[in-house]
Chains A and B, each alone.
Chain A
Amino acid sequence: MTPPAGKPQRVVFGEALVELGASDPRVVVLDADVSSSTQTRLFASAFPRRFFNFGIAEANMVSAAAGLATCGFVPVVSTFALFLSLRAGEQVRAQVAYTGLNVKLVGGYAGLSDYADGASHQSVEDLAVLRAIPNLAVVAPSDAVEMRQALRAAVAHDGPVFLRVSREAVGEDYDPATHPFRLGRGIVLREGADVTFVATGTMVRLAREAAEALQREGVSAGVIDLHTVKPLDEDLLVRAANATGAIVTVEEHSVLGGLGSAVCETLCARRPVPVVRCGIPDRFGESGAYGEILARAGLDVGSLCRAARQAVERKGAR
């Protein structure tokens, strides 16, 4: 993938949070000693009374956010996606999702984007874990524009939302004036005839590049930005399956339980077509250069093109 030229997505998040904090006094921010990494430090300097650093204690932080939400505040809970979904996973389930409280969970350093730190810090199971919990919306914005819009939409939404944020640079790929972001609604970025890429988060950009490469080979590939992994835009998926008869899912997450699984669950029930899932194979991550470990996981243009051709070949096969 061509590395995007823009700011790290976490910086976009941190700046957008300050804007929200200025316009909405209900917004309070909690972090677990990683505010300099997640960029909630920007909010902390702007609104020190509304920022709470809970130290390296994610479980306590998430539960405290639930308490703050009962007082009418809109807590934005920030730490690495791994710790939010797994270390504090039960607190998310018991006190945020089960209660339906108005807490926004922002998981930074998602996927392999904390590339150098290795498997101990890379979050490739968060979508699977959180998607299985009732009441919780799960969103992975793809670029800077969508990051800002998704954060605004999450705070405007009454109920628990998880936002997945990359450590690394994203583009300003969309036009904020026309980008039609709505929670739970996928966006068709490119119409295709032969196959459709359904991508989420940072991998939308990769899917677009793969679609262009395929066009040069004479394969017509559509691209859908499915930023909301839950609730899933099922009707849009069925339309794509009808239109192209083959789907390739793309996510910076394990191939088990995330976007690919969600798409298969829906299409098996409503419109079975060949689906090839691109994502991190069922193994732990590793340290290395970001582009290199993504490619080793099969997340590069060449692998996506192969997956698309495979999906097309399977059409009509028995």
Chain B
Amino acid sequence: MIDYQTMRRDCLRIRNRIVDAIHRARSGHSGGSLSCVEVLWTLYSAVLRHRPREPRWADRDRFILSKGHAAPALYAVLAEKGFFDPAELATLRQAGSRLQGHPDMTKVPGVEMSTGSLGMGISAGVGMALGTRLAGRDSRVYVLVGDGELDEGQNWEALMSAAKFALDNLTVVVDRNGVQLDGTVDEVMPLGDLAGRLARFGLAVHECDGHDCRSIHEALLRAAGERGRPQAVVARTVKGKGVSFMEGQSAWHGKPISDEDYRIAKRELAGAEGGAK
């Protein structure tokens, strides 16, 4: 069935691709890309119903990367799954590339919603969940938000509407890495008891270790089993996961990776690969 050990190795390969692409582009968001690798890979490998050769297949499940700055992670996962050639990852953020700094649904196969301006993804997911339900399809909709992103009030408008419309086909995953651009989430705008807040907004809340594919998978399955209300999965993660000097550092929210830092990062990822085998 599902081989979590292989998934772990896959995630290392994806981390390498992310670091390669951001280093080459000389800009991009390492911290928030590395924190959501396992969540994305678990979704695309074990949860979402999708057809890479037929990205607009009507009965597919939908995924929205609301935290659009993690585009390098999404692109790497889509490429691994065959939505496009991984070689294209080298064009990230270059003029004329389909791989814009933030995801553009009109350009990239598999991208379900253009994002980048924060706080809008859950709302689009509400629309998709209403739409697939109205069309009589059993598709599920998943939205990944950052915890810093939850500062935006529109998220909470969206959660209220998801509960009002009883969208049990909608799961919101929170990348709870605790760090945003200017500092920690607690410093910039504390979320307090996030799980409690989400529950009081009418969601069924599940939690998981956001770097353990088995833990993520089990939480997503529990969420999908809920009836009559939308669900949240709070994934505890580490910003910059896998590269020691990036981990937990707000400075690595969107800093270019220098050649020197790139060498160190690649060495660390290679060492981790040994450990993952």
Contact = CB atoms under 8 A, between A and B. Distances in A.
A290 interface: no
A65 B128 CA distance: 9
Interface string B109-153: 000111111001001111111111011000000000000000000
A64 B134 contact: no
Interface in A40-97: 49-50, 52, 54-55, 57, 59-73, 75, 90-91, 94-95
A75 B134 CA distance: 13
B106 A65 contact: no
Given A60-B123, A63-B158, A94 B134 contact: no
A120 interface: no
B128 A67 contact: yes
A68 B106 CA distance: 16
B120 A70 contact: no
A36 interface: no
Nearest to B164: A55
B259 interface: no
Given A52-B130, A59-B154, A60-B157, A67 B114 contact: no
Interface in A100-130: 100
A99 interface: yes
What secondary structure prevails in chain B residues at the interface with A? helix
B123 A59 contact: yes
A168 to B, nearest CB: 30
Interface centre among A54, A67, A68, A69 (most CB of B within 10 A): A67
Which interface class (under 10, 10 to 19, 20 to 34, 35 or more) fits B? 20 to 34
B160 interface: yes
B131 to A, nearest CB: 3
Nearest to A93: B117
A64 B117 contact: no
Interface string A17-42: 00000000000100000000000000
Contact of B135 (A55, A62, A64, A72): A72
B113 A95 contact: yes
A28 B134 contact: yes
Contact of B127 (A66, A94, A100): A66
Contacts of B129: 67
B154 A99 contact: no
Contacts of B116: 94
Indicate the member of A50, A52, A63, A68 with the most B CB atoms within 10 Å.
Answer: A63
A52 B125 CA distance: 15
B126 A64 contact: yes
A67 B124 contact: yes
B45 interface: no
A284 interface: no
B170 to A, nearest CB: 10
B57 interface: no
A62 B158 CA distance: 11
A233 to B, nearest CB: 27
A73 B130 CA distance: 10
B241 to A, nearest CB: 28
A63 B154 contact: yes
Contact of A63 (B62, B105, B124): B124
A72 B124 contact: no
A174 interface: no
A49 B135 CA distance: 11
B161 interface: yes
A70 B131 contact: yes
Given A60-B157, A63-B154, A73-B134, A52 B123 contact: no
Given A60-B161, A94-B117, A67 B105 contact: no
Nearest to B123: A63
A49 B129 CA distance: 14
9 contacts: A54-B161, A55-B160, A60-B157, A60-B161, A61-B123, A64-B124, A64-B161, A73-B135, A95-B114
Given A54-B157, A71-B127, A99-B114, 20 more contacts: A28-B134, A49-B134, A54-B161, A55-B161, A57-B161, A59-B157, A60-B123, A60-B157, A60-B158, A61-B123, A63-B120, A67-B124, A67-B125, A69-B131, A70-B131, A71-B131, A71-B134, A73-B134, A95-B120, A100-B106
Interface of A: 28, 49-50, 52, 54-55, 57, 59-73, 75, 90-91, 94-95, 98-100
